């Protein structure tokens, strides 16, 4: 494919601002974006069933560094600053051949109930081995092995069951039996939260069979899981799962707790990426930031940022063990890692620390490895590391954190999303780059003004720096609007680290072309081109045997709090030797995040939300605490604006932020002031800028500002659900529209309860009438994300 053609294809995705796409993925999609999404959906959906089967049945893998597994104690979930933690480490899984896959497929459909399926699963994920112990028990208990095995063949079944609450409810009677039968179930519970379902199904072969017939539905749902936006689109079209009608008149719920029958569902994400594997005692992992040794200046910065007593979180301990190298030589191989852990668990530091240490060391030792034509291809900026993030807000916050960490070791960080303001004006790319460097470089060396070590930005901004402003515009549009494609400003030959933060978003169908284009261009610039097919369906296993593993000539880090099966499949296909590091709390809610479900009254929903806000603040006042800040997530931008207006009319000042908000165009995160965690050095860096802004304000404006109460409520869509580190006083997250899926729910809820702090997520649900089954299902799934037995409770308004 010609470069031009590939550019055209890339342009389709590039023309959508990432934050727009992200918003679309998880919230309301505009019609044009729906079209884009459904295109992607068509590409991906047909292969999903096959993919999931492969994931579940495949026998891939060896454990890399895994001593025999002591079963993780139930209460050993990690807490920041806590010592004893069990962790799970993964080694790459071996990819099966076509014949092997075909055999498995036949087994999974033809031999349901057979032990063989279990065996296949075991081969794939060592975790399953540990679950086998449970099989024996279950077998003897139930004689019903077939049931469980048939589930294994079909991930799908579980999902289809979710739709079918009636069945599950009727099966709940079996829970008692199960509990009494199985002392050993506790372990399984702690891993998955979901063995009970299988047991509960024992009574009902008929039910299960009928559920299997529902695979199609389930597949369509699952397909959406990775593709966020596509699923949402379907929901908006009201195809199948749109459970809650916009309004339903209900009498107010009496002020008492209602109890739904006890139920237990497995973690809704556990089948997306199964982390139960051999565990390694924390004794084998670093307990301090000093082992392996981290260079002094960097260590001091870490302590400045996190406090003198901070200990590595589980994912950081894994990263210290695997990624931090005390010394490296210029012949060391590059590595590929996945860092997967729950929200707010310190993934940013888990990749920034080893990266900064390595960059500084190679600078000091002169062991930098440049591409063959690096000297010829040098540009205004020639970074050695790139961090990609899906939104400008996250890019800026990550860049701010990186600056705090490099303060002592004197590297240079550039946030590409600073280019926001300039790129809207008609300035030349070189001026833009100069402005960026002037604005951003805190520690520029004399005479080497443009030296940059780390660039942080969205894929579209990074591509703009790589290829020149306007590169992605259609030639017709370039002519019509007199756009001159600018000169590339960023050389790629020196890049030795690429981090893809929120990797499941950046490898989803809407972003993957841009992401892979960047990876491919860097590889080429470093003298090791990798194949790049823009329209490749990443999640497909159709052509699996023909897939060529990709080996990038740089360290390649993927990170996210959610690893959907599409990303897991991508890693299997293209990066078979990538090492997966995951905390045992992956796909769970942060341990100190509480959940509360409140019922709509059936009246004015805005009034219900106002009521809950005032309840939160009344509780704060009773406790003598400062007023909590509340983050409210809606599904649609229009709803954000309407709710913002309604609350303002009721005297509740708020920030209503949508993808199109003007305040987002300022090139800074000031529109999130008061809500985001403030970092010391970032604050210092912006001090000058703030002072200037302040000078511009008239006295009248100042007075007016003082009169106004600082907003304690921010209303937004999933635009802000990814990666952003909100301040500890954002203790409440309100989810007022039914979450699209559990991935979205986890990220939204995870804006509170970060870094081991307290937090609460309040989910508004429908208590009675149409849609209440769906709400109960959500409730159970949320409970499963907390890894606990679920007994849905609802609080009504009081
Ligand atoms: N070892 C530690 N001890 C105490 N606090 C920490 C530690 N590591 C990180 N933190 C703090 O935890 C907060 C969350 O970190 P970070 O944003 O990196 O989480 P994350 O895992 O990337 O979250 P998300 O999945 O939402 O992106 C930050 O404020 C960070 O300063």
Give me ligand 1 centre to Cα 349, in Å. 7
Least confident residue range of 186-190, 243-247, 530-534, 748-752 = 243-247
Burial of 702 (0-12, 13-18, 19+ CB in 10 A): exposed
pLDDT at 399: 94
Q: How far is the CA of 729 from the centre of ligand 1 (A)?
A: 15
pLDDT in tens, 102-160: 554 444 333 332 222 222 232 222 233 333 333 333 333 333 333 333 333 322 323 33
Confidence of residue 566 (pLDDT cuts 50, 70, 90): confident
Strand partners, 337: 557, 579
Residue 582 CB–ligand 1 contact under 6 Å: no
Q: Does the beta carbon of 561 lie inside 6 Å of ligand 1?
A: yes
Nearest to 71 by CA among 123, 135, 137, 131: 131
If one compares 305 and 187, the residue with the highest pLDDT of the two is 305
Residue percentage of the chain with pLDDT more than 90: 32
Instruction: Answer whether 639's CB lies under 8 Å from 689's CB.
Output: no
Mean pLDDT of 379-393: 93
Residue pair 221/231 in contact (Cβ under 8 Å)? The answer is: yes
User: Does residue 553 or residue 249 have the better pLDDT?
Assistant: 553
- Give the pLDDT band of residue 488 (cuts 50, 70, 90): confident
The pair of three-digit structure tokens given for residue 783, joined into one six-digit string: 């409970």
**What was the pLDDT predicted at 552?**
93
Q: Tell me the range of 209-223, 247-261, 314-328 where mean pLDDT is highest.
A: 314-328
What is the best residue among 349, 399, 456, 502 to mutate for testing ligand 1's pocket, by most ligand atoms within 8 Å of CB?
349
Ligand 1 pocket test: pick from 22, 320, 345 the residue with the most ligand atoms within 8 Å of its Cβ. Answer: 345
Ligand 1 atom 3: the closest Cα is on which residue?
A: 310
Query: Would the CB of 345 count as within 6 Å of ligand 1?
Result: yes
Q: What average pLDDT does range 445-463 have in this prediction? A: 79
CATH value of 593-676+709-786 in 1.10.150.80, 3.40.50.2000, 3.40.50.300, 3.40.50.740: 3.40.50.300
User: What is the reported pLDDT for 687?
Assistant: 53
Q: Of the CATH numbers 3.40.50.970, 3.30.70.270, 3.40.50.300, 3.30.360.10, which one belongs to the domain with range 296-420+429-441+449-472+485-535+548-582?
A: 3.40.50.300
Distances from the Cα of 239 to the Cα of 217, 220, 248, 697, angstroms: 10, 10, 19, 51
Smallest CA separation from ligand 1 atom 9, residue: 346
Nearest CA to ligand 1 atom 13: 755
Minimal CA–CA distance to 272: which of 212, 339, 345, 223?
223
Collapsing DSSP to helix, strand or coil, 784 comes out as helix
User: Measured between alpha carbons, how far is 562 from 781 in angstroms, rounded to an integer?
Assistant: 15
Q: By alpha-carbon position, which residue is closest to atom 31 of ligand 1?
A: 306
Task: Please return the burial class of 251, using the count of CB atoms within 10 Å of its CB with bins 0-12, 13-18 and 19+.
Answer: exposed
Residue minimizing CA distance to atom 7 of ligand 1: 346
Q: How far is the CA of 348 from the centre of ligand 1 (A)?
A: 7
Q: Which atom of ligand 1 is nearest to the CA of 348?
A: 18
Distance CA 368, CA 108 (A): 50
C-beta separation of 439 from 450 below 8 A: no
Higher pLDDT among residues 309 and 222, named by residue? 309
Which of 550-578 are b and which e, b meaning 16 or more Cβ less than 10 Å from the residue's Cβ?
bebbbbbbbbbbbbbbbbbbbbbbbbbeb
Q: What is the pLDDT of residue 637?
A: 94
Q: Which atom of ligand 1 is nearest to the CA of 561?
A: 25
pLDDT for 291 equals 78
Put the strands of the sheet holding 593-599 in their side by side order: 593-599, 759-765, 730-735, 629-633, 713-716, 654-657
The residue extents of the domains of the chain are: 296-420+429-441+449-472+485-535+548-582, 593-676+709-786
pLDDT of residue 506: 96
> How many angstroms separate the alpha carbon of residue 513 from the centre of ligand 1?
29
The closest alpha carbon to 272, from 61, 439, 125, belongs to 125
Annotate 522-556 with DSSP letters as a single string.
HHHHTT------TT--TT--TTGGGPPPP--SSEE
Mean pLDDT over residues 159-180, rounded? 32
At 699 the pLDDT is 57
Does the Cβ of 312 fall within 6 Å of ligand 1? yes
The 3-state DSSP class for residue 381 equals strand
- Asked, as a colleague might, if the bond just before 408 is cis with ω within 30 of 0, I would say no
More confident residue, 142 or 27: 142
Instruction: Report the Cα 688 to chain-centroid distance in Å.
Output: 33
In the structure, what pLDDT confidence band is assigned to residue 409 with cuts at 50, 70 and 90?
Answer: very high
Q: Is 400 in the pocket of ligand 1 (CB under 6 A)?
A: no
Q: Which of 78-87, 435-444, 729-738 has the lowest mean pLDDT?
A: 78-87
* Closest-CA residue to 359 (of 383, 343, 387): 383
Cα 631 to ligand 1 centroid, rounded to whole Å: 18
Q: What is the pLDDT of residue 225?
A: 29
Examine the pLDDT at 340 and tell me if it is beyond 70. Answer: yes
Q: How far is the CA of 504 from the centre of ligand 1 (A)?
A: 19
The secondary structure of the chain in percent helix, strand, coil, rounded to multiples of 5, reads 50, 10, 40
Question: How does the average pLDDT of the chain come out, rounded?
Answer: 66
Q: Would 296-420+429-441+449-472+485-535+548-582 and 593-676+709-786 be classified into the same CATH topology?
A: yes
């Amino acid at each position: 494919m010609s470069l031009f053609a590939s550019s055209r294809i890339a342009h389709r995705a590039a023309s959508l601002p990432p934050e727009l796409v992200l918003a679309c993925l998880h919230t309301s999609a505009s019609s044009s974006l729906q079209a884009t999404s459904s295109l992607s959906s068509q590409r991906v959906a047909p292969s999903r069933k096959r993919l999931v089967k492969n994931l579940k049945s495949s026998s891939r893998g060896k454990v890399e560094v895994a001593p025999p597994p002591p079963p993780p104690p139930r209460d050993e979930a990690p807490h920041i600053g806590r010592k004893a933690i069990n962790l799970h480490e993964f080694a790459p899984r071996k990819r099966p051949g076509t014949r092997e896959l075909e055999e498995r497929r036949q087994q999974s459909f033809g031999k349901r109930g057979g032990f063989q399926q279990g065996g296949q699963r075991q081969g794939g994920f060592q975790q399953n081995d540990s679950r086998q112990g449970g099989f024996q028990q279950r077998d003897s208990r139930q004689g019903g092995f077939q049931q469980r095995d048939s589930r294994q063949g079909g991930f799908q079944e579980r999902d289809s069951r979710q739709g079918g609450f009636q069945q599950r409810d009727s099966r709940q009677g079996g829970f008692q039996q199960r509990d009494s039968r199985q002392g050993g179930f506790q372990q399984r519970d702690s891993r998955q939260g979901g063995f009970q379902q299988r047991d509960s199904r024992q009574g009902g072969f008929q039910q299960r069979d009928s559920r299997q017939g529902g695979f199609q539905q389930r597949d369509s749902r699952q397909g959406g899981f990775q593709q966020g936006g596509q699923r949402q689109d379907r929901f908006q079209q009201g195809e199948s799962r749109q459970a809650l009608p916009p309004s339903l008149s209900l009498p107010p719920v009496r002020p008492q707790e209602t109890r739904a029958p006890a139920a237990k569902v497995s973690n809704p994400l556990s089948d997306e990426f199964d982390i139960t594997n051999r565990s390694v005692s924390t004794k084998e992992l670093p307990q301090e930031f000093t082992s392996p040794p981290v260079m002094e200046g960097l260590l001091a910065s870490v302590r400045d940022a996190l406090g003198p007593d901070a200990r590595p979180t589980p994912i950081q301990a894994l990263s210290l063990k695997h990624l931090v190298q005390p010394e490296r030589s210029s012949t060391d191989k590059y590595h590929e890692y996945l860092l997967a852990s729950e929200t707010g668990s310190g993934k940013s530091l888990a990749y920034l620390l080893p990266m900064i240490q390595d960059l500084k060391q190679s600078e000091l030792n002169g062991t930098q490895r440049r591409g063959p034509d690096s000297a010829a291809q040098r540009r205004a900026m020639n970074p050695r590391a790139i961090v990609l993030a899906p939104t400008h807000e996250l890019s800026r916050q990550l860049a701010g954190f990186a600056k705090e960490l490099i303060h002592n070791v004197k590297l240079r960080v550039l946030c590409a999303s600073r280019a926001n303001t300039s790129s809207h004006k008609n300035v030349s790319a070189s001026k833009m780059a100069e402005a960026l460097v002037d604005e951003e470089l805190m520690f520029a060396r004399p005479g080497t003004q443009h030296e940059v070590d780390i660039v942080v930005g969205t894929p579209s901004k990074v591509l703009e720096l790589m290829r020149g402003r306007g590169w992605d515009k259609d030639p017709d549009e370039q002519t019509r609007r007199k756009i001159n494609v600018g000169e590339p400003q960023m050389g790629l030959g020196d890049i030795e680290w690429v981090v893809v933060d929120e990797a499941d978003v950046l490898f989803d169908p809407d972003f993957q072309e841009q992401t892979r284009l960047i990876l491919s261009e860097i590889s080429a610039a470093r003298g090791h081109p990798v194949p790049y097919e823009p329209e490749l369906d990443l999640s497909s296993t159709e052509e699996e045997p023909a897939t060529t593993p990709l080996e990038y000539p740089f360290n390649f880090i993927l990170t996210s709090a959610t690893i959907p099966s599409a990303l897991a499949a991508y890693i299997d296909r293209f990066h078979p030797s990538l090492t997966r590091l995951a905390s045992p709390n992956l796909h769970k809610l942060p341990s100190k995040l509480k959940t509360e479900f409140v019922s709509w009254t059936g009246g004015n929903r805005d009034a219900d939300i106002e009521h809950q806000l005032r309840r939160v603040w009344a509780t704060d006042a009773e406790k003598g605490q400062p007023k909590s800040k509340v983050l409210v997530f809606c599904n649609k931008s229009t709803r954000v604006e309407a709710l913002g207006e309604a609350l303002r009319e009721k005297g509740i000042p708020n920030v209503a932020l949508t993808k199109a908000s003007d305040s987002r165009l300022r090139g800074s995160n000031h529109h999130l002031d008061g809500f985001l965690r403030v970092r010391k050095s970032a604050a210092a860096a912006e001090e000058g800028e703030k002072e200037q802004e302040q000078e511009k304000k008239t006295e009248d404006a100042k007075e007016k500002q003082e009169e106004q109460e600082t907003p304690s409520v921010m209303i937004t869509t999933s635009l802000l659900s990814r990666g952003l580190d909100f301040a500890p006083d954002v203790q409440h997250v309100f989810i007022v529209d039914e979450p699209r899926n559990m991935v979205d729910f986890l990220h939204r809820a995870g804006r509170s309860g970060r870094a081991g702090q307290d937090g609460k997520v309040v989910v508004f649900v429908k208590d009675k009438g149409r849609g209440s089954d769906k709400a109960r299902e959500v409730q159970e799934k949320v409970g499963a994300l907390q890894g606990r037995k679920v007994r849905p409770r609802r609080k009504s308004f009081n």
